Amino acid sequence: MKEGELVLLLSKDSSYLLEVRKRKFQTKDGIFDLSKILKKKFGEKIATHLKKEFSIVKPNLIDIFEKKAERGPQIVMPKDAALILAYTGISPGSFVVDIGTGSGFLAIFIANYIKPGKLVTYEKDKKMLKIVEKNIKISGLSEVIKIKNKDASKGISERNVDLVTIDVQNPEKIVKYAYKALKIGGWLVVYSPTIEEVIAVTRKIKELNFSYPKTVENIVREWQTERTTRPKTIGIMHTGFITFARKIK
């Protein structure tokens, strides 16, 4: 294990995402002596001073999203990002353009899947760039993702693109540029918080040579299994509408 490396310490009921350093780290489960991890490998154990054992695990992208990445505006949740991959069938090695970077969660999620492909993400708000750059660095995907500080409603310069995702206000203004950027058979995906936005973007899609648009809502319901078995009363239900269309000529 190298100093500065990210590790996930995992037990049955707790987890901690930490950088390996020669220091001690206090938690509700006891104190970790992180210098001991330097002599260990992934899959081995480490215990707190209270003798509670944790497995040392290599963190994946979801661990980083949940415990390390910084959030700015509302993000596209992993459940919706995964649906985009499932519906479009996008594959490793693809070329993707992402409009409206925000905190970078969708760009990072897709880039992690398409590597060694390329993803270009557009963000016009300079205030967001530091957050995005930090999150991309943490993800280890700097070689895959390129950030453009540019307003995509004024144009998209990329061509022969496999997938364009749009998550900005007034996405209908960008649809014509997405059409020019896409290759024949390429996918357009628009993430919308309201049905009014879906109506506007669908109308624009129908003016161009896209397949008939499909709009879906992805609702995930978690269940509790302690004492009684039933759906949990609290959870994330509606996050947004996702509209899919494919360039046909």
**How many whole angstroms separate alpha carbon 169 and alpha carbon 1?**
44
10 Å CB burial of residue 238 (0-12, 13-18, 19+) is exposed
| Whether 178 contacts 208, CB under 8 Å | no
| Mean pLDDT score, 212-230 | 91
Tokens of 13: 């009921």
Average pLDDT, the chain: 93
73 has pLDDT over 70: no
| Mean pLDDT score, 112-118 | 96
10 Å CB burial of residue 178 (0-12, 13-18, 19+) is buried
Query: How much is the pTM?
Result: 0.86
Residue 75: pLDDT band with limits 50, 70, 90: confident
234 has pLDDT over 80: no
| Mean pLDDT score, 154-173 | 97
State the pLDDT at residue 65.
Answer: 87
> If we measure between CA atoms, which residue out of 216, 209, 215 comes closest to residue 246?
209
93 three-state secondary structure: coil
48 three-state secondary structure: coil
CA distances from 169 to 157, 182, 190 (A): 20, 21, 11
| Mean pLDDT score, 162-190 | 97
State the pLDDT at residue 57.
Answer: 95
**How many whole angstroms separate alpha carbon 98 and alpha carbon 167?**
8
235 has pLDDT over 80: no
Residue 42 CB: number of other CB atoms within 10 A?
13
State the pLDDT at residue 29.
Answer: 93
> Could you tell me the domains of the chain?
6-59 (3.10.330.20), 67-246 (3.40.50.150)
60 has pLDDT over 80: yes
State the pLDDT at residue 237.
Answer: 75
Peptide bond into 193 cis (omega under 30): no
